[in-house]
Structure 1
Amino acid sequence: MGRAEIGQRGEDIATAWLERHGFTVIDRNWRCARGEVDIVARTAEAIVFVEVKTRTGTSAGHPLEAITRSKLRRLRHLVPAWFTAHPEHGAALIRIDAVAVHLVGSRTVVEHVAAVA
């Protein structure tokens, strides 16, 4: 599996995991000139912008280690752009979460961290 396929598989797994845990996914892979948001979901309390990182082993470190301060800063700048493109969602409490997907052989482990930024 190539890098793009691994990333897409991880996002599919993260989406299914979020939906099983009460999130309603309202957008995926939203792009603008500033960057991309992997998943946008709604809970009863907030609209949640989710960064997904997937790893197939441990040589590159933990998936969450790839979510740097600069990545979080970029995500924070994408939030208003997303709302501008989706005015139907109006004002809401906003949260940025991270999901780590570990694909190790036939085993899949998902870790969700709320409010990383």
Structure 2
Amino acid sequence: MSSGRSLGNAGENMAAAYLLEHGYKISERNYRCPIGEMDIVAFDGEELVFVEVKTRTSLRYGYPYQAVDYRKQQRYYRISAFYRASHPQYADLNCRFDVIEVYLPNNDTQNINHIKNAFEVGDNRYY
């Protein structure tokens, strides 16, 4: 496993623990479909939340959330639509897209920044 994938896995584990500590219920991790992958699918109360986790050791190339550009937002929207179509029990739930930034500048520190409603696509209702 590459160090980049190891870093990503560590960040996703920290993000999942963070969400659980804040009362979220995780439905799926690393949800894969023909369109792509979503790091975490969770519930915040009755709201369905699609979470992208971005982990960095420095800000050399910008803030992690900046990696979620328009093209990726469109893909995440399509993944969420596929997820909702394959889980019709969730079709009427409100949903949102969050980004969790995990900073791991060295082995002694970590910082998590949870950006709720990081972006919206369309009217945020798919059906």
TM more than 0.5: yes
- After superposition, the CA RMSD in angstroms is 1.3
Aligned to 1:28: 29
**Residue aligned with 1:114, SS:** strand
Match of residue 123 from structure 2: none
CA contact (8 A) 2:85 2:91 kept: no
Q: Which amino acid aligns with 1:2?
A: S
Match of 2:111 in 1: 109
Deviation at 1:33, TM superposition (A): 1.3
Matches within 5 A, 1:47-86: 47-86=48-87
Which amino acid is 2:63 matched to? Answer: H
Gaps of 5+ in 1: none
TM-score w.r.t. the length of structure 1 is 0.93
State the alpha-carbon separation in 1 of the partners of residues 28 and 86 from structure 2: 12
**Identity of aligned pairs, percent?**
34
Moved over 2 A (4+): 84-91
Q: State how far apart, in whole Å, the 2-side matches of 1:27 and 1:83 are.
A: 13
For structure 2, list consecutive stretches of 5 or more residues without a partner in the other structure: 120-127
Paired letter, 1:18? L
Find the residue that maps to 2:117 and give its secondary structure. Answer: coil
Query: Secondary structure of the equivalent of 2:46?
Result: coil
CA distance in 1, matches of 2:59, 2:97: 25
SS in 2 for 1:116: strand
How many matched pairs? Answer: 117
**Whole-angstrom CA distance in 2 between matches of 1:91 and 1:5:** 36
